[in-house]
Amino acid sequence: DVKVTQSSRYLVKRTGEKVFLECVQDMDHENMFWYRQDPGLGLRLIYFSYDVKMKEKGDIPEGYSVSREKKERFSLILESASTNQTSMYLCASSPQGAYTEAFFGQGTRLTVV
Amino acid sequence: RKEVEQDPGPFNVPEGATVAFNCTYSNSASQSFFWYRQDCRKEPKLLMSVYSSGNEDGRFTAQLNRASQYISLLIRDSKLSDSATYLCVVRWGSARQLTFGSGTQLTVLP
């Protein structure tokens, strides 16, 4: 069974803090993704990575950065958290290929106060 | 215009009913299509892939219409456990990432 694990289910951080969200997958997938999910807006792609040390911007990268130093781990960094970054953050991974599905972690609900 | 559009619902149907969701996509170069299911406060999970010829998995049937750029999901004999949000998902061409619709909320009532 594919397992994508996010380090925290719930996080509360203060405005201006640097926040790290960690994601680990155990299926040797090449692709990893960070999405945020907000009511009425659905899932929006923040960043994705298709290989170690490779990253590409998604639809809403502003205010975020990512790191992929090892194949199994993909980190999302909020350089200076703001209240509009309060959201559900979902990590996903998928193997290479046009017809492959993505597998999601359980999500991290981040509240910035 | 959103790249993947769904009717947000909510759809409230009685047990045993048949319900259908549609989803339209804007990019004609779209290559692969999926329906995901998301339960309240849980992560999305793959329900089924959608193939060109249409495909069925038990009570669920997915159809693809490339000419009109829409996909559909039909659920027959609805169960209480089908209550969830159903997400339409598209991958464009050679893109690695999936693009999600906002989801359609279904509640099956006893």
- Single-letter amino acid, residue A63: G
Angle at A106 between CA A41 and CA B108, to 5 degrees: 65
Is a pLDDT exceeding 70 seen at residue B13?
A: yes
Q: How many CB pairs under 8 A join A and B?
A: 48
- Say how many Å lie between the first and final Cα of chain B, rounded: 37
Please report residues of B whose CB lies closer than 8 A to that of A48.
96-97
Angle at B79 between CA B73 and CA B84, to 5 degrees: 60
CA–CA min distance B32, chain A (Å): 6
Q: Per DSSP, what are the bridge partners of residue B32? A: B91
C-alpha A16: how far from chain center: 19
Chain A residues touching chain B at CB-CB below 8 Å: 31, 33, 35, 40-43, 45, 48, 50, 58, 90, 94, 96, 98-99, 101-107
Average of pLDDT values for B73-90?
A: 97
Average of pLDDT values for B40-63?
A: 93
Is a pLDDT exceeding 70 seen at residue B1?
A: no
Pick from A35, A50, A105: CB nearest B96: A50
Burial of B77 (0-12, 13-18, 19+ CB in 10 A): exposed
The DSSP 8-state label assigned to residue B102 in this structure reads -
Is a pLDDT exceeding 70 seen at residue B94?
A: no
**CB spacing of A104 vs B45 below 8 angstroms:** yes
Percent share of chain B, pLDDT over 70: 96
**CB spacing of A98 vs B100 below 8 angstroms:** no
- Rounded CA gap, B48 and A20, in Å? 33
Q: Which residue has the tokens 């659920």?
A: B75
**CB spacing of A58 vs B97 below 8 angstroms:** yes
**CB spacing of B97 vs A107 below 8 angstroms:** no
Which tens digit of pLDDT belongs to each residue from B57-75? 999 999 999 999 999 999 9
Arithmetic mean of pLDDT over chain B:
92
Optimal mutation site among A48, A99, A109, interface B, most CBs of chain B within 10 A: A99
pLDDT at residue A88, rounded to an integer: 97
- Rounded CA gap, A82 and A84, in Å? 5
A17 near A110, Cβ under 8 Å? no
**CB spacing of B43 vs A41 below 8 angstroms:** no
**CB spacing of B103 vs A42 below 8 angstroms:** yes
Structure tokens at B49: 């892939």
Q: From A6, A24, A20, select the one nearest A72 (Cα to Cα).
A: A24
pLDDT at residue A97, rounded to an integer: 81
Pick from B45, B49, B102: CB nearest A99: B49
- Rounded CA gap, B55 and B49, in Å? 8
Residue B88: pLDDT band with limits 50, 70, 90:
very high
Q: Which residues of chain A have pLDDT under 70?
A: 2
> Sign of the C-alpha dihedral, residues B60, A41, B8, B27?
negative
Return the half-sphere exposure (C-beta side, CA atoms, 13 A cut-off) of residue A25: 26
Return the half-sphere exposure (C-beta side, CA atoms, 13 A cut-off) of residue A74: 32
